[in-house]
Structure 1
Amino acid sequence: MKFYVIGDVTVDHLYHLSRLPEPGEEVAPTRATMQPGGAGGTISVTLARLGHTVTLAARVGDDPFAEYALASVRESGVSQAAIQQDPELLTSTITVMQTPDGQRAMISHGAANRQLDPAKLKKKDIEGADALIVSAYSLTEGPQREYALKAIEMAQKAKKPVPVFIDLGTGAVNKVGGELIANVTGADYLTLNQQELLALTGTNSISTALAKLGAAGARRVVVKVGRMGSIVWTPTETELVDAIKPEGQVVDSTGAGDTFTAAFAHAVLTGQPLPQAARIANAAGGLAATRVGAQARSITPADLEAALAR
């Protein structure tokens, strides 16, 4: 299958802490590392490792971080034909601080990613794909937003419509809020976590939030609910799909949601019904969390088969 992915590539600075620092306080991490990341990069790498042909549209700076941000993208064979280089802005970086009990704080900067030039988008690339996956960070601001909206329109108006998957992100929802609803409910598949769902809809219950998305035109929504697994919703049914505990210790949730989205798209396009696609995605997200770094755990079809068998 051919996927076209629009999203960020970043360098992630990961700090594992016993607790988050108070204002003005200095704390020492129990573990610190630097890893390639970004929703676009992680989704692309996961799909490529699952055997698909993937093109990633992103933008990096003319700096040493660019090589590092794209390291896994190159190693996994993702096409860089739609990667752009910004002559002035830096490659995006994200600082992630997380604690063993799941608390998390982040510092992120869109930098070069937000300047993705829509004039360089090629209609034939969208129409030639079997699916388009868009990270909602791409819909927040700047030329990247125009690029993403243009690609979605091309996919929907193609002679043979290209399925559109949109994955929300906490930073995107925090920045744009409910205004994103108009841009994401037209997708064939929408994936997001529980906190993003409630923040996006301005509600305090999952059922109310899903009803609001349905009223806005959403067709298929998958809600990631952490250790409970995920919820698959359509206008006619709602189903909780249990989580699958991975083999190995969970050490880092960075990128697990992006891995979930990639595996879900992989399963849908290989003919799986929605609940089974969510189950496969649950397994992939769990496996991703057993290594430090968004793209550190290479997940293959054999890995998913083994996880599902357990």
Structure 2
Amino acid sequence: MKFYVIGDVTVDHLYHLDRLPAPGEEVAPIRASMEPGGAGGTISVTLARLGHTVTLAARVGADPFAEYALSHVRQTGVSESAIQRDPEVLTSTITVMQTASGQRAMISDGAANRLLDPAKLKKKDVEGADALIVSAYSLTEGPQREYALKAIDLARGAKKPVPVFIDLGAGAVNRAGTSLLGSVIQADYLMLNQHELLALTGTNSISAALAQLGSKGAQRVIVKVGKMGSIVWTPTETELVDAVTLAENLVDSTGAGDTFTGAFAHAVMTGASLAEAARAANAAGALSVTSFGAQERPITPADLAQVLKQ
């Protein structure tokens, strides 16, 4: 399968702490590391490791961080033909502070990613893909938003329409709020977590939020609900797909949602039902948190098959 992915590539600075610092306080981390990250990069790497042909559209700076941000993209064979280089703006970085109890704080700079030039989008690349995956960070602002919207229009208007997967993120929803709804509602597959679902719809319950999305034309919504697993919704059915529990230690949740998205798209496009795809995605997300960094845990079809047997 051929996937065209639009989303950020970043360098993630990860700090694992006993507790988040108070304003003005200095604390020492239990562990600190620097890892390649970003929703676009992580989704692309996940799909490539699962055996697909992937093209990633993102923008990096002309700085040393660019090569590091793209290191796993390059190692896994993701095409860099749609990667743009910005001569002036730096590669995006994210600082993540998190505790073992699940508390998290982030500092995120979209930087070069937000300047993805829509004039360089090639129609044939989108129309020649089997699926288009868009990270909702790409839909928040700047030229990158125009690029993403243009790609979605090309996918939907192709002679053989290209399925569109849109994955939301807390930062995108927090920034754009309910105004993001119009840009994502027509996705063939809309993926988001519980917090993002409520913020996107301005409601206070999952059932009310899903009803609102249905009234506006949503067709397939997949809600990530943490330790409970994920909810698959269509206009005719709703199903809770249980989480996958592993014996391995869970050490870092960075990028788990993006890994979920890549695995879900992989499963759907290779013939799985929505519930089967959600279970495979639950398994991939569970595997991803057993290593530090968004892209450090390689996940193959054999890995998923083994976990799903349990």
**Could you state the TM-score of these two structures normalised by the residue count of structure 1?**
1.00
Partner residue, 1:153? 153
| Residue in structure 2 matched with residue 255 of structure 1 by the alignment | 255
Tell me which residue corresponds to 1:170: 170
1:216: how far off?
1.4
AA aligned opposite 2:25: E
Is 1:4–2:4 an aligned residue pair?
Answer: yes
Secondary structure at 2:177 match in 1: helix
For each residue in 1:160-206, what CA deviation from the matched residue of structure 2 results, as whole angstroms up to 9, or x when unmatched? 00000000000000100001100001000000001111111111110
Q: Distance in 1 between matches of 2:58 and 2:98?
A: 26
Q: Distance in 2 between matches of 1:246 and 1:82?
A: 37
Q: CA deviation at 1:124?
A: 0.3
Q: Secondary structure at the match of 1:209?
A: helix
Paired residues for 1:229-308 under 5 Å? 229-308=229-308
Aligned residues: 310
Partners of 1:83 and 1:247 lie apart in 2 by: 38
* Distance in 1 separating the partners of 2:289 and 2:157: 37
Task: State the shift of 1:247 in Å.
Answer: 3.8
Once residues 247 and 222 of structure 1 are traced to their aligned partners in structure 2, the CA distance between those partners, rounded to angstroms, is 26
For the residues of structure 2 that align with 1:18 and 1:68, how far apart are their CA atoms?
A: 28
**What residue in structure 2 maps to residue 218 of structure 1?**
218
1:247–1:307 contact (8 Å) kept in structure 2: no
Distance 2:20 2:162 in 1: 43
1:215, 1:21 → 2: CA distance?
A: 43
1:74-113 equivalence runs, <5 A: 74-113=74-113
Query: Would you say the 8 A contact 1:181–1:216 is kept in 2?
Result: no
* Structure 1 residue 246, shift from structure 2 partner: 2.5
Q: Once the two structures are aligned, what percentage of the paired residues are identical? A: 78
Counterpart of 1:189 in structure 2 is 189
Quick one: distance in 2 between partners of 1:201 and 1:110?
24
Residue equivalent to 2:28: 28
Aligned letter for 1:256?
Answer: A
Distance change (3 Å), C-alpha of 1:256 and 1:163: same
Aligned to 1:42: 42
Partner of 2:139: 139
CA distance in 1, matches of 2:211, 2:246: 32
**What's the offset of the Cα at 1:245?**
1.0
How far, CA to CA, are the matches of 2:246 and 2:131 in structure 1?
28
* C-alpha distance in structure 2 between counterparts of 1:119 and 1:301, whole Å: 36
Structure 1 distance, partners of 2:160, 2:202, is 35
Gaps of 5+ in 1: none
Q: With structure 2 as the length reference, what TM-score do the two structures score?
A: 1.00
Any idea what SS the aligned residue of 2:147 has?
helix
Give a deviation string over 1:47-105, Cα, whole Å, max 9, x none. 00000000000000000000000000000000000000001000000000001110110
Alpha-carbon distance in structure 1 between the residues aligned to 2:197 and 2:271: 26
Aligned-partner Cα distance in 2 for 1:184–1:91? 26
Q: Which amino acid aligns with 2:182?
A: A
User: C-alpha distance in 1, partners of 2:218/2:86?
Assistant: 35
Deviating more after overlay: 31-40 vs 207-216:
207-216
**For 1:23 and 1:172, how far apart are their aligned partners in 2?**
25
Paired AA for residue 60 in structure 2: V
Deviations along 1:246-305, one digit per CA (max 9) or x if unpaired, are 241110000000000000000000000000000000000000000000000000000000
Does the aligned pair in 2 maintain the 1:247–1:287 contact within 8 Å?
Answer: no
- Give the alignment's Cα RMSD to 1 decimal: 0.5
SS in 2 for 1:85: strand
Secondary structure (helix, strand or coil) at the match of 2:74 reads: helix
In 2, Cα distance between equivalents of 1:241 and 1:207: 16
Distance 1:254 1:81 in 2: 27
Following superposition, the deviation at residue 217 of structure 1 comes to: 1.2
Q: State the SS of the aligned residue for 1:266.
A: helix
> Once the 2 structures are TM-superposed, how far is the Cα of residue 215 of structure 1 from its aligned partner?
1.1
Take 1:216 and 1:181, find their aligned partners in 2: how far apart are those partners? 9
2:294 is paired with a residue whose SS is coil
Partner secondary structure for residue 106 of structure 1: strand
Gaps of 5+ in 2: none
